[in-house]
Amino acid sequence: MSKKWIKNGIVVTSTDTYQADLLIEEGKIISIGKMPDISDAEVVIDASGLYVFPGAVDEHTHMSMPFNGTESLPWETETVAAAVGGTTTIVDFALQAKGSSLADTIRKWQTRAAENTAIDYNLHVAITDLTNEIMEEIPTAVKSGVSTFKLFMAYKGELMVDDSTMFRMLQKAKEVGALVMVHAENGDVISLLQQQLLAEGKTEPYYHAVSRPIDIETEATHRAIKLAKAAGSPIFIVHVSGGEPAQEIRRARASGQPVFAETCPQYLFLDETYLALPGFEGAKYVCSPPLRERSQQEQLWNAITDGTLQTIGTDHCSFDFKNQKNLGRNDFSKIPNGGNGIEHWIPLLFTYGVKAGKITLNQFIELISANPAKFMGLYPRKGTIAIGSDADLVLFDPKVEQTITAASHLQGSDYNFYEGRQVQGAARHVLLRGEVIVKNGIYVGSLSQGQFIHAKPFGAAYRINPLARGITNEGKPVETGAAL
Ligand code: URP
Ligand code: ZN
Ligand code: ZN
């Protein structure tokens, strides 16, 4: 049986930092500790001076997703970029086309990903058409390994669902241990504001932000939380963009309600002034919720450190500037929503989070790997370094410095959200289930290596005490026999 030996690295998990060797066999970690010479190791990697992280689990991506008459950039390019950056698992949003079954939606996404993904993946189904048949199909979808569902409160006429749909989905989710993830923005009001602005001739990208003020997000966040409470179900709010919606989550958790949430790097590192860049450049930064005032960033960091927000996901939904963002040149509401970040989110958070003293190294791993895996029902197979876990490992050099630029990135887009940022740290080697897929920063894997990973129901949202700050250290399981 061929073994791999990673020696002399500094292992970092969400709870611990320590020097240890790792032994890998059949894709799993089989031993951790100081080891004598492993004479039968087929591969030996000296990780001296490197951190050994569990691969990042990005719970929020959109690969090859139809949007505003085009499609986000594909699995082929974006998962290679993810791998080189240190992400080894994504949970991608499979959009239910109206009239399609859940099985067909899942199959469609799996077919698209098959032979085209460099890294492992799971799926959330974004429900757009909750018929009685779909309600009946939900337990089967969960048995097939999909235990998270997204509901959009925005994108009226396309993806948006009404409150009764949301309520029914929340009721069903708690029966089967699924997690409902919500895009919280009031789509009715956004649609109205879009029409008003366009009628006034306000067509430029900046008006995207004007049409989606933070109060609209805060209102929807509040409504989603109250609907979840009435339904008796946990809820997970995605892409929280500022302090006011975060405050809704903080308040609900303080009352003991299981409300959990994510923010994204763009809300921590970019702000609404980017939308006002001249020459239609602002279109590059059109995403939803929109980028906010700079003052919101500090409030989001506070929400991370006080445990209001559990995870960071990229919301990588990448489009080309020249060919795709251009669709909205005369009408901001037609600009495909989304940006990129999966290649560089790890050094960005390491530099401006860990090195800047905002979060500890262990919190960093908690936010990008352990907690996403726990909430998405993938832990402890993913999200940690433990005996029996998949050997998804990032050997991270904290000393390397790089300047982010589209000129050298691997992401398919012709621009980079973080163009010109100086960052510290980079993945030197990345292993996916024990196979080296990135060697000295170069992708050496193949697109047939990524696998669909089954998610278990009754993940962390069902198991932790909402009043506890974190999960790993302080959270107490409230049920037994489930995913953790
Ligand atoms: O702008 C964004 N976030 N695009 C992707 C779709 C979504 O709302 O998550
Ligand atoms: Zn969304
Ligand atoms: Zn998204």
SS (H, E, C) 277-317: CCCCHHHHHCCCCCCCCCHHHHHHHHHHHCCCCCEECCCEC
Nearest CA, atom 2, ligand 1? 338
Q: Does the CB atom of residue 61 touch ligand 1 within 6 A?
A: no
Residues of the chain with pLDDT under 70: 1, 469-484
372 Cβ contact partners less than 8 Å away, ≥ 6 residues apart:
56, 57, 58, 59, 91, 311, 313, 378, 383
**Residue of 150, 315, 316, 325 with the most ligand 1 atoms within 8 Å of its CB, for mutation:** 315
Asked if 419 and 412 touch (Cβ cutoff 8 Å), the reply is no
Ligand 1 midpoint to CA 67 (Å): 9
CB of 153 closer than 6 A to ligand 1?
Answer: no
- pTM equals 0.96
pLDDT score for 242: 98
Residue 205 CA to residue 282 CA, distance in Å, equals 6
d(Cα 65, Cα 318) in Å, to the nearest integer? 10
Backbone angles phi, psi at 364, to 5 degrees: -55, -50
Q: How far is the CA of 20 from the centre of ligand 3 (A)?
A: 37
Residue 469: its pLDDT value, please?
Answer: 61
Burial string for 203-218 (b: 16+ CB within 10 Å, else e) reads bbbbbbbbbbbbebbb
- Closest to 52 (Cα-Cα) out of 84, 80, 23, 21: 21
Type of residue numbered 206 = Y
| CB 184 less than 6 A from any atom of ligand 1 | no
pLDDT at 465: 87
Which pLDDT belongs to residue 297? 98
DSSP classification of residue 452? B
DSSP-based three-state secondary structure for 435: strand
**Predicted local confidence at residue 467, as pLDDT:** 83
Residues with CB under 5 A from ligand 3 (ion): 315
**Which pLDDT does position 475 carry in this prediction?**
36
AA identity, residue 443: Y
Q: Which residues pair with 439 in a beta bridge?
A: 442
3-state secondary structure of 437: strand
Q: Look at residue 1 in the predicted model and tell me its pLDDT.
A: 62
CA of 160 to the centre of ligand 3 (A): 13
Q: Are 283 and 305 in contact (CB under 8 A)?
A: no
Condensed to tens digits (0 to 9), the pLDDT of residues 435-483 reads 999 999 999 999 999 999 999 999 999 998 888 765 443 333 333 333 3
In angstroms and rounded to an integer, the radius of gyration of the C-alpha atoms of the chain is: 21
Give the per-residue pLDDT at 2.
Answer: 86
What pLDDT score does 477 carry?
36
d(C-alpha 411, C-alpha 422), whole Å: 18
